[in-house]
């Protein structure tokens, strides 16, 4: 069974609400193409403000990292 993320955006009268679960799973591929769970983190950041002081946000799901960098680290680099 593959890990699952839950992310939602909801348009309300005053704007948009972003929400996501906080679990992230680190998986590695085996030599035969199979995936194996290495670690499950229960406090991952998946919701980000892209520009301080501005109402621009981002929700991530799916891959928790690209290479050795977490999505949180990559998005912080984009917003600075």
| Calpha distance 8→50 (Å, rounded) | 17
Helix (H) or strand (E) holding 78: helix 71-79
Query: What is the count of structural domains for the chain?
Result: 1
State which residues form the domain around 52: 7-79
The yes-or-no verdict on residue 1 having pLDDT over 70 is no
- The per-residue pLDDT for range 23-56, each reduced to its tens digit, is 887 777 777 777 776 777 888 888 988 888 888 8
| 1 within domain boundaries | no
Most confident of 10-14, 24-28, 55-59, 68-72: 10-14
> Which comes out higher in pLDDT, residue 59 or 79?
59
Residue 32 resides in a domain = yes
Spatial separation of the C-alpha atoms in residues 64 and 1, rounded to whole Å: 17
| 74 within some domain | yes
DSSP annotation of 51 reads: S
């Amino acid at each position: 069974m593959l890990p699952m993320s839950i992310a939602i955006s909801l348009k309300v009268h005053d704007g948009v609400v972003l929400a996501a679960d906080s679990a992230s799973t680190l998986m590695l591929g085996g030599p035969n193409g199979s995936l194996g769970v290495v670690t499950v983190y229960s406090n991952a950041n998946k919701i980000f403000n892209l520009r301080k002081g501005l109402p621009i946000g981002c929700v991530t799901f799916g891959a928790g990292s690209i290479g050795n960098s977490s999505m949180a680290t990559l998005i912080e680099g984009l917003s600075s």
